[in-house]
Structure 1
Amino acid sequence: MNSEDNFQGIWDNSPFVAWIHNISKNQMKYLNSHIKDMNLGHEMRYIMAIFDNPGISQDDLVNMFGQSKATVAKSLKKLEDDGYIKRDVNPENRRKYMLNTTSKAEELVPKIRKISKDWEKEVGITDEDYELKKRIKEIAINGMKLTEDL
């Protein structure tokens, strides 16, 4: 097999999840190249999730992103220290926190969304891909359900 048969270690016979991982990795690389000065990596995804789901918990993020509790906690600490999120005690369960974005994050979210839309346009994702997006979302949800008790 020569180098024209693969790109970034992805071959035609690579598992579906390898393609999805590659898409995710390259989108993050693109996003980071456009907001270098903010020193954010995957934390951007946490900001977006918290912005879109005010009051979300750390456990919700662990489940949503399939990351360890320690990884999520470390990222949230960084985001809190950098002024992107705040933690409020959940009045229904005082041992848990509700996560919310700050005005600093709320200014950043539209920029991230625009850069993401630009990336989608550049790689060829169009409005016609709605059914594909819907199907991939279904697969992601099924995967989360399949592994939620593991």
Structure 2
Amino acid sequence: MQEESYEGIYDNSPFIAWIHNISKNQFKYLNSRIAEIDMGHEMRFIMMIYDNPNISQDGLVNMSGQSKANIAKSLKKLEDEGYIKREVNPKNRRKYMLKTTPKGDDVVPKIRQISKDWEREVGITEDDVELRKRIKEIAINGMNLTEEL
């Protein structure tokens, strides 16, 4: 198969189309490797909560760029399945702080290892430090640009 036939992405496609393709294929790979864990994009959210204990739902919305409704649905699923818990924020009783449970703490390293396996398989190496840094900068710029929208 020719390179141009994949997903309709061509050299003149927007940069974001390539990023979307990478993300989509990584999730396919993750899901194929951890089929016993019924997660889709929730994997991203559980890792964000694990890395940012006490983050709020609004914090996840800002960090992920997902809608409040999408985040709420994903959090409900993660909570119902025992991966996260919500605690009332003592500084603002109308808001919740999100934390992973022991079950969530157990699954995050597994997801990370599978992600590292995927990166190795597709050719992302430790030498790609500058690439990672630049993509992170672009993501942060995008969050800042759209924060108030």
TM-score (structure 1 length as normaliser): 0.96
Counterpart of 1:85? 84
Amino acid of the residue matched to residue 88 of structure 1? Answer: E
Residue 70, structure 1, aligned to residue 79, structure 2? no
The structural deviation recorded for 1:147 is 1.1
Amino acid of the residue matched to residue 132 of structure 2? Answer: K
Counterpart of 2:21? 22
The structural deviation recorded for 1:149 is 1.2
Amino acid of the residue matched to residue 105 of structure 2? Answer: E
Amino acid of the residue matched to residue 105 of structure 1? Answer: G
Deviations 1:82-133 (A, max 9, x none): 0000000000000000000001011111111110000000000001100011
Aligned-partner Cα distance in 2 for 1:141–1:51: 19
> Identity percentage over the alignment?
73
**1:103-122 matches, cutoff 5 A:** 103-122=102-121
Q: Figure out how many residues of one structure are paired with residues of the other and give that number.
A: 149
Aligned-partner Cα distance in 1 for 2:47–2:3: 36
Moved over 6 A (4+): none
Aligned-partner Cα distance in 1 for 2:115–2:66: 22
Aligned-partner Cα distance in 2 for 1:4–1:18: 15
Counterpart of 2:43? 44
- RMSD of the alignment, in Å? 1.2
Aligned-partner Cα distance in 1 for 2:44–2:20: 15
Deviations 1:53-91 (A, max 9, x none): 000000000111111111100110110000000000000
Unaligned runs of 5+ in 2: none
3-state SS of 1:37 partner:
coil
Contact 1:6 1:12 in 2 (8 A): no
TM-score (structure 2 length as normaliser): 0.97
Unaligned runs of 5+ in 1: none
